[in-house]
Structure 1
Amino acid sequence: MATVAWIGLGNMGGPMTANMVAAGHTVNGFDLSADALAAGVASGVTATSSVAEAVQGADVVFTMLPKGDHVRSVYFGDAGILAHAAKETLLIDSSTIDIESAQAVHDAAAAAGFRFVDAPVSGGMSGAAAGTLTFMIGGESGAVKDASAFISPMSANIIPTGGATTGQAAKICNNLMLFINLASTSEGAVLADRLGLDKKVFWDIASVSSGDSWALRTWYPIAGVVPNAASNHDFAPTFTAELANKDINLAIAAARSTDTPLEIGEHVQQMFQRLIDGGQGGKDCTMIVSLVDGSLPGAAGNNDAETNAAAINGKGK
């Protein structure tokens, strides 16, 4: 069994480390949040007081952090991973971050004599807890192979994506599609309801027809259909609107750097921004449905719907 250093014990890192401990690994964890650190200890993680302490004697270091700036801060500088880990330690970043930051860490790690892979995940908090995440791993092939062995207790799927930053590229593009699917699912679900369809009957049809998607099957935004969906629990977060907005903005930034138009993606980003501006950034991202059904204060609601209907029927101003 390995000695694992883990930096970032939040909503994803916490349950992921629990699975590593359950697999028999020794996990030395660090987080700036005392509550997150305490929760890690409760699941068998050994608490450390700094990044430097966490990486001492580690066979592998995982980072799971919110943003590229956070990843840079824990890897670089006198107190960072590159300054304190042993050169033979494998470095794995499972955060979802911008391509530029991922490339910067790849370059700095290589220059310092380390092996590093970008290995973001898909599957959310439920997948993290169940050990069924999908890992997308970018980097040198030998490092990717070795990383896969460490990742196994947390995953259902491990997919090498190619060279440096391709893991991040895959995650960014995947999440762009997810959030567009979520927005379209919200619109279809609300329209079906207002046309008089039974919500479960419509879900049964869509889930085996061309309207199917992971968002529909797992995150259905109408209550009373998919039991574990946040819509049944007052939109308590499984993946917050703030995080969704961050991820779709990563896709938009990558698109602009490659001259790729994202007309639908940019519109969905604006929807998440409206949720945040409405004070709902900490709620589950599936609360985007409130912008369709008009339940969020300041949402388009019936007035815009009536205006659009009038225009369609030739009655607009």
Structure 2
Amino acid sequence: MSIVGFVGLGNMGRPMAANLAAAGHEVRGFDVVPEARERAAAQGVTVVGSAEAAADGADALITMLPKGAHVRGVLLADGGPLTRLAAGAVVVDASSIDVATSRDVHEACKALGIEVLDAPVSGGVAGATHGTLTFMIGGAESALALARPLLEVMGGRLIEVGGAGAGQAAKACNQMVFGASLVALAEAFVLADRLGLSARNLFDVLSTSSGNCWALTNFCPRPGLVEGSAADNGYVAKFAAALLAKDLGLAASAAESVGVDLAVGGAARRRVDELAASDGTLDASAVIKAVEAIDTAA
């Protein structure tokens, strides 16, 4: 059994922390949102009053926070939780954030002699709930050796992608491909409709041809085609448009920092931003609404 501090008990962090608690670890969790703390407590997490209290004497500290600014506020704060960990502890930042912040966290931990991984995830709330997340892991082998028993409780696949910040780089690239695929699908379904082709017939072609992709089989933007899709439930979010907009923004920032022109990724970002500005709480697959609106206006 390990003592695990867990900061960030939202839709993703809460089930991750709960799975660790169910596996027999002592999990001390904190979130700034009272409702999140209450739900985590009901799932076996010992809720504490601060990030510092979560880290106090812990063998591991896991963060799952919305933005790089939040990660900085927790992990890079003077006298913050990093100073409260047990000797030989490991830090795992599972947030999806910018590469620069991730590298700063690595440097801060290194200065304190703390092992650290950046390990953003893919798999959504369902993956977090069922312990089947994919972790994209940046950091040293020695850090992974310490964190592996915990990551294996929360995830189904651990993919080592490189050194400091590499996990965040991989996540940004992955989300850019997903976002571009989703927007392309939305455009294809709108185009098919205008050309008199049914959504069902297009789906049957795409799903068995070169147009097949993960976005189609998991986030099909037209209802009645994929069981359990958000489109079948009024686009209630499985993965909110605001979150995809954030991820595509991170990809754009990363690309700008290294001089890569994202012609396709940038166009996809603009479409998703339009949806997020209209209603970011909708599922990302509702981007088809933004495509339809522009097409109709034209």
What TM-score bracket applies, with the shorter chain setting the length?
over 0.9
1:292 aligns with 2:286: no
| Alpha-carbon separation, structure 1, partners of 2:87 and 2:67 | 25
Matching residue within 285, 295, 302 for 2:296? 302
| Alpha-carbon separation, structure 2, partners of 1:77 and 1:293 | 45
Higher relative contact order (CA 8 A, sep 6+): 2
TM-score by structure 2 length?
Answer: 0.96
Aligned residues: 298
Please name the residue that 1:107 is paired with. 107
Please name the residue that 2:232 is paired with. 232
Please name the residue that 1:207 is paired with. 207
TM-score by structure 1 length?
Answer: 0.90
Q: Give the Å deviation of 1:211.
A: 0.5
Offset from partner CA, 1:13-45 (integer Å, 9 cap, x none): 011112212222221100000000111011111
Whether contact under 8 Å (2:57, 2:84) holds in the other structure is no
Q: Give the Å deviation of 1:137.
A: 0.7
- Report the identity percentage: 41
Q: Give the Å deviation of 1:266.
A: 1.2
Whether contact under 8 Å (1:186, 1:288) holds in the other structure is yes
Offset from partner CA, 1:207-235 (integer Å, 9 cap, x none): 22111111100011111111221111111
| Alpha-carbon separation, structure 2, partners of 1:141 and 1:16 | 22
Please name the residue that 1:308 is paired with. none
Please name the residue that 1:245 is paired with. 245
Offset from partner CA, 1:119-176 (integer Å, 9 cap, x none): 0001111211121110011111111232222100111111111111111110010000
Offset from partner CA, 1:100-131 (integer Å, 9 cap, x none): 10010000110011101100001111211121
Aligned partner of 1:209: which letter? S
Whether contact under 8 Å (1:236, 1:283) holds in the other structure is yes
Aligned partner of 1:131: which letter? G
Q: Give the Å deviation of 1:79.
A: 4.9
- Larger CA Rg, structure 1 vs 2: 1
Structure 2 unmatched ranges of 5 or more: none
Whether contact under 8 Å (1:65, 1:71) holds in the other structure is yes
| Alpha-carbon separation, structure 2, partners of 1:303 and 1:34 | 43
Whether contact under 8 Å (1:77, 1:83) holds in the other structure is no
Q: Give the Å deviation of 1:4.
A: 1.2
Offset from partner CA, 1:27-83 (integer Å, 9 cap, x none): 110000000011101111111001111112311110000011100111122452222
Alignment of 1:103-252 (within 5 A): 103-252=103-252
Alignment of 1:267-286 (within 5 A): 267-278=267-278, 280-286=279-285
Aligned partner of 2:215: which letter? A
Q: Give 3-state SS (helix, strand or coil) of 1:186's partner.
A: helix
Please name the residue that 1:32 is paired with. 32
Whether contact under 8 Å (2:60, 2:85) holds in the other structure is no
1:82 aligns with 2:82: yes
Q: Give 3-state SS (helix, strand or coil) of 1:283's partner.
A: coil
Whether contact under 8 Å (1:76, 1:83) holds in the other structure is no
Whether contact under 8 Å (2:56, 2:81) holds in the other structure is no
Aligned partner of 2:287: which letter? I
Question: Which is further off, 147-156 or 99-108?
Answer: 147-156
Structure 1 unmatched ranges of 5 or more: 295-299, 305-317
Aligned partner of 2:157: which letter? N
| Alpha-carbon separation, structure 1, partners of 2:69 and 2:183 | 29
| Alpha-carbon separation, structure 1, partners of 2:25 and 2:203 | 42
Offset from partner CA, 1:236-258 (integer Å, 9 cap, x none): 11221111111101111111111
| Alpha-carbon separation, structure 1, partners of 2:3 and 2:56 | 9
- RMSD in angstroms over aligned alpha carbons? 1.4
